[in-house]
Amino acid sequence: MVLCQGGEATAVPAAAAEEPEVPLSREDGAGPGQPCPCPAPGMEAAGAEERRVCGCCSGLSWPRCCKAPGTKKKAACPGLGLFYTLLSAFLFSVASLFLKKIEDVHSVEVSAFRCIFQMAFVLPGLIYYKTGFLGPKGKRIFLFFRGFLGSSAMVLLYYAFQVMPLADATVITFSSPVFTSLLAWIFLKEKYSVWDLLFTLFAVTGVVLIARPPFLFGSNVTGIEGSYTDHLKGTIAAIASTVSAALTLVILRKVGKSVHYFLSIWYYAVIGLIGCVIALFVMNEWRLPYCGKDRVLLILIGLLGLGGQIFLTKALQIEKAGPVAIMRTMDVVFAFILQILFLNHLPTWWTVGGALCVVASSSGTAIRKWRQSLKKAKQNEI
């Protein structure tokens, strides 16, 4: 017998707070890193004429096997993963724009509707894969905090979108990879280099340029929506959302592959929905939108958010994590364009400068992690 080693799917979390759960899956159904037996050419089955098959090619006979001599493997469409990433960023940006257009719905209620869509999407997957609804006993506490922090990040982000410029909130959330590296160093003892520190300082500088605190920029702050108090509240909410999202990714790294990704999304949706409903009754904000337009926008936000997650997941299944993370910065570009075209709000030079700092920081972090993974893969081959 000849052993052909299957490849592994690579996945890293997205920067934004609406982080998708990326399945570590294979098209052939074999587990990562496990060899699949392929009959060697010319080997005959003893006592009978058996059809020789290859596990890495879904049971194709040997002449059609991907590992057979002289067989050309079908090439994937070049750039398809990056196109999926671009489409995902566009859908997320349009969902954020619709959130800005909703007039009489609290951000917590929007989050509740989003959780309902998540549950409707994940429930059939839980039943199909027979994962259960609680997960392994030793992992439930991690799943609970993953759900709590992930849903909190979503609520805070939606609030930030409602009270501050769309581009400003989007830019702040893209500092998440930098905070993830810092928190992984603190809690998981992962390596934190001088480059990581430099990227962190870049991200903090970008956030300061967007927030423009009065003790640094004076009391006359221009280019904001509404009062500066609301702008400051939105900035704090966006930063808290970013930190919560980073903590969520640290928890997911801690859990690893021991929990199915559908189960992780399930906790995110269920705990988020319960928390949103309780908060809405406490604040006495639970009500259906008065306007039919707002109801349509709520549905579209749920659909677009779900579509964005699906395309980002597919992108990470067929493309390396580094290029996907870099392409995701197009979300910032889309946010600026949509803000100018549909909200009639021109960004200030402070916002542009902050955006450049944050995008450079997150892109630098992604490129560095990508190079490290390539280097590690080459060492493993040796």
Q: Three-state SS for 5?
A: strand
pLDDT for the residue numbered 44: 42
Alpha carbon 328 to its chain's center: 10
Nearest to 92 by CA among 161, 180, 175: 161
Q: What domain range is 306 assigned to? A: 80-381
Q: Is residue 26 part of a domain?
A: no
Q: Domain count of the chain? A: 1
Backbone CA torsion sign across 278, 284, 289, 294: negative
- Given this model, what pLDDT does residue 270 score? 92
- Let me know if residue 343 belongs to a domain: yes
Residues 6+ apart with CB under 8 A from 265: 21, 118, 121, 122
Q: How far apart are CA 309 and CA 238, in angstroms?
A: 20
47 falls within a domain: no
Tokens of 320: 């390396």
Residue 171 lies in a domain: yes
Is residue 85 in some structural domain?
Answer: yes
- Does the residue 107 lie in any domain? yes
Pick from 192, 161, 168, 162: which is nearest to 179 by CA? 192
Residue 218 is predicted with a pLDDT of 60
Token pair, residue 226, equals 């509404």
- Tell me how far apart the alpha carbons of residues 228 and 3 are, in angstroms, rounded to a whole number: 65
What is the reported pLDDT for 36? 45
- Residue 224 in domain: yes
**Residue 114: inside a domain, yes or no?**
yes
pLDDT averaged over consecutive 10-residue blocks of the chain (382 residues)? 38 43 41 44 42 45 48 60 88 90 83 86 86 82 89 90 88 84 84 86 87 68 73 90 87 77 84 90 77 83 84 77 77 90 85 88 82 78 70
